[in-house]
Amino acid sequence: MKNFEWVINHMKETIDLRLCGVGDILLGKHGSIFLYGGEDGFDVYNHRVVFIEPNPGHSGSRTNDGYVFNINRDPADYDIIKIIHKGGNNYEKIRLLL
């Protein structure tokens, strides 16, 4: 997988998945890429994400702030570090790469 350290170092933002729409692109640590799948009604892990890279088609859940776990976090987790909203800057360019 490509080295995406620059994403982690230069693009980290405050994440609030409650502001996402279905189909928004989510960038994660370690070069992972997801599509936002919507809210699924759980208390803490309320947001469904669908893996594009790695493990295409697999899905998982995230906290409101994009973490895999609410506590006991691990640096190896595929946490969300950037949201690219539909219609926003670079959305179509990135979408074409997927």
pLDDT at residue number 98: 65
**pLDDT, tens digit (0-9, with 9 covering 90-100), for 12-23:** 578 999 999 999
Task: Look up residue 17 and give its two tokens.
Answer: 């998945």
Yes or no: say if 51 and 34 are a contact pair by the CB < 8 Å rule: yes
**pLDDT, tens digit (0-9, with 9 covering 90-100), for 69-96:** 888 888 888 999 999 988 777 777 777 7
Cβ-Cβ contacts under 8 Å for 17 (sequence gap 6 or more):
36, 46, 47, 62, 63, 64, 65, 66, 80, 83
Which residue's structure tokens are 């594009």?
52
